[in-house]
């Protein structure tokens, strides 16, 4: 097979300022304001920001080769460098070091449908993009109806795309990129944007494209989608490629990486905790309905969060309040279960024992979560308070019973509503 993309010693360095506490915010700014403007603003002599700028490698020492027809999933945590790679391949930004050789026409769909001109109408943008991909007018015309149909924007064809809602924009951008027969299709996280129906439709379309033997590079946090679309995976971590092999191995390794810290923690010996110590949390497991320990949870299933404790008081402690809290990747507390909310305070045995916090129909979207436990006696004596007792991954499931995963990038808690119009 022919090599269509070769990347050698690729690196991308950004200037960041310490006043921006979150790098992620800087990225969003860049998308809306443009890289050059931001860099200029940051290095303007005499400006407050110029005092605190610092070099930051978003990507470094990256080497890989992509062959014609490869379907590659690029995965990694937030900020790992995935979008940066795609931007470099799409020539939206320049490498700081290394080189990229590409054979073939690339259509890329990055976070905001970067290939569109905001002042031009939907119709004009379709033709413009086709022309950029080297297609003739008649070739584009042949595809035109299909694109409009897929994007569901017929009524707005002659409206400048800057007036489109973000959903319309993404639908059209995806339709254009996937229908105009590029040799290489690059898609970044598009599935997180549209509604559930469109997500499904775009996944199906991606499958068609990859079945036609075209080269596809796909970034997503949706592991089942990555596994079904791609044959090869590249795992990025802090700007480096740490694994490049078959997709299933890469996905497994990515999901398990979050677990390794969990396995390393010996709860009994941890000292970063509070409380009198009459009760000590010494172990934690998650059990499914068959009472088997599980590492990966699914939305909508039932689980027992089992907390093992040691009773150092050596007598039965009655009416103990236990709190079990769940935090997401960004450390926001998304669920809080507490025995006294439901008049379920517990009597803890004089020897060692287990507490089960049973959660049915798990209302968590895909993601990585961690837990804390807080145990209080007689409403005032903290017996034990310990955070980050474990990390687990929620991956897939069917909370709504419709196949929709919700929108994990937007909201971590799932709940059903009744809808009606009057
Ligand atoms: N223009 C920029 N200026 C400064 N820092 C940037 C810029 N663009 C990206 N970064 C930083 O580079 C790192 C890699 O960003 P990138 O967008 O490639 O991550 P990602 O893997 O796509 O993450 P996500 O999963 O959140 O989309 C991040 O730390 C990000 O904040
Ligand atoms: Mg990204």
Over residues 355-378, the mean pLDDT reads: 95
Co-location of 71 and 208 in the same domain:
yes
- What is the pLDDT at residue 254? 85
Co-location of 198 and 95 in the same domain:
yes
Asked if the structure places residue 12 within a domain, the reply is yes
Co-location of 244 and 304 in the same domain:
no
Asked if the structure places residue 95 within a domain, the reply is yes
R_g over Cα of the chain: 25
3-class state of residue 128 by DSSP? helix
Distances in Å between the Cα of 374 and the Cα atoms of 11, 268, 321, 324 are 45, 15, 8, 7
Co-location of 279 and 249 in the same domain:
no
Cβ of 367 below 6 Å from ligand 1: no
Asked if the structure places residue 414 within a domain, the reply is no
Co-location of 207 and 313 in the same domain:
no
Closest ligand to the CA of 111: 2
Domain count, the chain: 2
Distances in Å between the Cα of 28 and the Cα atoms of 23, 179, 317 are 9, 28, 52
CA–centroid distance, 82 to ligand 2, in Å, is 6
**CATH number of the domain that 194 lies in?**
3.40.50.300
Co-location of 43 and 188 in the same domain:
yes
Co-location of 313 and 222 in the same domain:
no
Q: In the numeric block, which tokens belong to residue 50?
A: 């110029």
Q: In the numeric block, which tokens belong to residue 94?
A: 């320049």
Q: Which atom of ligand 1 is nearest to the CA of 59?
A: 14
Dihedral, CA atoms, 339, 344, 346, 347, nearest 10 degrees? 160
Nearest protein Cα to ligand 1, atom 28: 79
Asked if the structure places residue 226 within a domain, the reply is yes
Cβ of 129 below 6 Å from ligand 1: no
Cβ of 408 below 6 Å from ligand 1: no
Q: Which atom of ligand 1 is nearest to the CA of 189?
A: 27
3-class state of residue 226 by DSSP? helix
Q: In the numeric block, which tokens belong to residue 57?
A: 């490698």
CA–centroid distance, 89 to ligand 2, in Å, is 14
Tens digit of each residue's pLDDT (9 = 90 or more) over 76-129: 887 899 989 998 998 888 999 999 999 988 877 775 456 688 889 999 999 988
Closest ligand to the CA of 23: 1
3-class state of residue 309 by DSSP? strand
Q: Which atom of ligand 1 is nearest to the CA of 93?
A: 1
Distance CA 93, CA 171 (A): 24
CB 280 within 8 A of CB 332: no
Residue pointed to by tokens 């775009």: 202
- What is the pLDDT at residue 194? 62
CA–centroid distance, 408 to ligand 1, in Å, is 19
CA–centroid distance, 54 to ligand 2, in Å, is 21
Query: Which of the four pLDDT bands, split at 50, 70 and 90, describes residue 241?
Result: very high
* Neighbour count for residue 10 (Cβ, 10 Å): 24
Q: In which domain, by residue range, is 304 found?
A: 266-397
Residue pointed to by tokens 């497991």: 285
Asked if the structure places residue 362 within a domain, the reply is yes
Provide the mean pLDDT of the chain.
Answer: 85
Domain boundary among 193, 227, 258: 258
**CATH number of the domain that 341 lies in?**
2.70.50.60
| Edge-first strand listing for the sheet containing 71-75 | 106-109, 184-188, 215-219, 71-75, 232-237, 240-246
CB 50 within 8 A of CB 16: no
Co-location of 34 and 82 in the same domain:
yes
CA–centroid distance, 181 to ligand 2, in Å, is 24
Nearest protein Cα to ligand 1, atom 17: 83
Q: In the numeric block, which tokens belong to residue 72?
A: 């590659």
Nearest protein Cα to ligand 1, atom 2: 27
Co-location of 281 and 376 in the same domain:
yes
Cβ of 27 below 6 Å from ligand 1: yes
CA–centroid distance, 304 to ligand 2, in Å, is 34
CA–centroid distance, 78 to ligand 1, in Å, is 8
pTM, rounded to two decimals: 0.61
Comparing 253-262, 296-305, 326-335, the range with the smallest average pLDDT is: 253-262
Distance CA 39, CA 18 (A): 14
Distance CA 66, CA 5 (A): 5
DSSP for 260-304? HHHHH--GGG--S-BS-SSEEEEEEEEE-TTS-B-SEEEET--EE
pLDDT above 80: residue 16: no
- What is the pLDDT at residue 38? 43
CB 322 within 8 A of CB 331: no
Asked if the structure places residue 46 within a domain, the reply is yes
Give φ, ψ of 405 to 5 degrees: -90, 5
Burial of 137 from C-beta contacts in 10 A (0-12 / 13-18 / 19+): exposed
Tens digit of each residue's pLDDT (9 = 90 or more) over 211-240: 888 899 999 877 778 888 899 999 999 999
Cβ of 92 below 6 Å from ligand 1: no
Q: In the numeric block, which tokens belong to residue 99?
A: 């080189």
Co-location of 20 and 72 in the same domain:
yes
Co-location of 207 and 306 in the same domain:
no
CA–centroid distance, 31 to ligand 1, in Å, is 10
Question: Closest Cα to residue 59, out of 25, 20, 29, 89?
Answer: 89
* Crossing angle between the packed helical segments 166-179 and 122-132, to the nearest 10 degrees: 30
Closest ligand to the CA of 87: 1
- What is the pLDDT at residue 27? 38
Closest ligand to the CA of 27: 1
Asked if the structure places residue 202 within a domain, the reply is yes
Asked if the structure places residue 142 within a domain, the reply is no
Co-location of 37 and 87 in the same domain:
yes
Over residues 314-319, the mean pLDDT reads: 94
Identify the H or E element spanning 184.
strand 184-188
């Amino acid at each position: 097979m022919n090599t269509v993309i070769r990347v050698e010693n690729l690196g991308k360095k950004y200037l960041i300022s310490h006043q921006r506490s979150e790098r992620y915010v800087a990225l969003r700014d860049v998308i809306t304001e443009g890289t050059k403007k931001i860099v200029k603003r940051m290095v303007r002599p005499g400006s407050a920001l110029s005092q605190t700028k610092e070099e930051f490698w978003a990507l470094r020492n990256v080497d890989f080769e992509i062959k014609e027809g490869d379907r590659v999933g690029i995965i990694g945590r937030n900020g790992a460098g995935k979008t940066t790679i795609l931007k470099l391949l799409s020539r939206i930004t320049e490498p700081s070091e290394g080189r990229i050789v590409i054979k073939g026409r690339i259509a890329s769909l990055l976070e905001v449908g970067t290939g569109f001109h905001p002042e031009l109408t939907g119709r004009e943008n379709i033709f413009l993009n086709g022309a950029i991909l080297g297609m003739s007018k008649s070739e584009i015309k042949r595809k035109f109806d299909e694109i409009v149909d897929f994007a569901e924007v017929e009524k707005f064809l002659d409206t400048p795309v800057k007036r489109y809602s973000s959903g319309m924009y993404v639908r059209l951008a995806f339709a254009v990129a996937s229908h105009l027969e590029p040799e290489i299709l690059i898609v970044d996280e598009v599935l997180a944007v549209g509604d559930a129906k469109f997500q499904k439709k775009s996944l199906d379309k991606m499958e068609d494209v990859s079945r036609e033997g075209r080269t596809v590079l796909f970034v997503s946090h949706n592991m089942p989608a990555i596994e079904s679309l791609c044959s090869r995976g590249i795992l990025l971590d802090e700007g480096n490629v740490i694994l490049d092999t078959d997709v299933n191995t890469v996905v497994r390794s990515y999901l398990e990486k979050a677990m390794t810290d969990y396995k390393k923690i010996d709860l009994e010996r941890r000292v970063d905790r509070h409380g009198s110590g009459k009760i000590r949390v010494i172990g934690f497991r998650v059990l499914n309905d068959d009472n088997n320990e599980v590492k990966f949870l699914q939305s909508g299933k039932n689980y027992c969060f089992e907390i093992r404790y040691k009773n150092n008081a050596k007598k039965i402690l009655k009416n103990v309040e236990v709190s079990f809290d769940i935090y997401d990747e960004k450390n926001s507390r998304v669920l809080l279960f507490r025995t006294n909310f439901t008049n379920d305070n517990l009597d803890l045995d004089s020897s060692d024992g287990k507490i089960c916090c049973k959660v049915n129909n798990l209302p968590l979207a895909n993601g990585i979560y961690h837990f804390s436990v807080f145990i209080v006696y007689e409403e005032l004596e903290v017996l034990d308070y310990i955070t980050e007792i474990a990390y687990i991954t929620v991956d897939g499931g069917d909370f709504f019973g419709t196949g929709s995963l919700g929108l994990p990038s937007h909201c971590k808690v799932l709940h059903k509503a009744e809808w009606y119009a009057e």
